[in-house]
Amino acid sequence: MAEFFSYWPLMLTLIAVGAAAGVSAGLFGIGGGSVMVPVLFYAFMSLGVPENVVMHCAVATSSAVIIPNAIRSVRSHNKHGAVDWGLLWPKNPLFSYALWIGMGALFAALWLAPLMSGQALTLLFAVIASLVAMRFIFGNPNWQIRESVPGGMARPIVGGSVGAISSLMGIGGGSLTVPLMSICGVPIHRAVGTASGFGLAIALPATIGFVVSGWGAAGRPAFSFGYVNILGLVLIAATAFLTIPLGAKLAHGMSQSRLKMIFGICLLLVAANMAREVLT
> Terminal CA-to-CA distance of the chain, rounded, Å?
39
3-state secondary structure of 224: strand
Domain limits of the chain? Answer: 2-279
Q: Does residue 118 carry a pLDDT above 60?
A: no
Distance CA 268, CA 136 (A): 10
**Dihedral sign of CA atoms 83, 84, 86, 87 in order:** negative
**pLDDT at residue number 84:** 85
Backbone angles phi, psi at 142, to 5 degrees: -100, 5
- Backbone dihedral region for residue 218 (phi beyond 0: left; psi -120 to 50: alpha; all else: beta): beta
pTM to 2 decimals? 0.79
Q: Does residue 4 carry a pLDDT above 70?
A: no
**pLDDT at residue number 272:** 85
**pLDDT at residue number 221:** 85
- For 79-108, what is each residue's pLDDT tens digit? 888 888 888 888 887 888 899 999 999 999
Residue from 56, 69, 24, 23 nearest 237 by CA: 69
CB 148 within 8 A of CB 264: no
Residue from 71, 111, 109 nearest 228 by CA: 109
Residues in CB range of 232: below 8 A, 6 or more apart = 14, 40, 43, 61, 65
- For 189-246, what is each residue's pLDDT tens digit? 888 888 888 989 999 999 999 999 999 888 888 889 999 999 889 998 888 878 878 8
- For 16-47, what is each residue's pLDDT tens digit? 878 877 777 677 655 567 677 777 877 887 77
**pLDDT at residue number 100:** 94
Quick one: average pLDDT of 124-141? 72
Residue 142's pLDDT band (boundaries 50, 70, 90)?
A: low
**pLDDT at residue number 252:** 73
**pLDDT at residue number 3:** 54
Distance CA 16, CA 240 (A): 9
CB neighbourhood size of 8 (10 A): 9
Quick one: average pLDDT of 169-181? 79
Distance CA 57, CA 142 (A): 40
In a 13 Å sphere around the CA of 111, the CA atoms on its Cβ side amount to 6
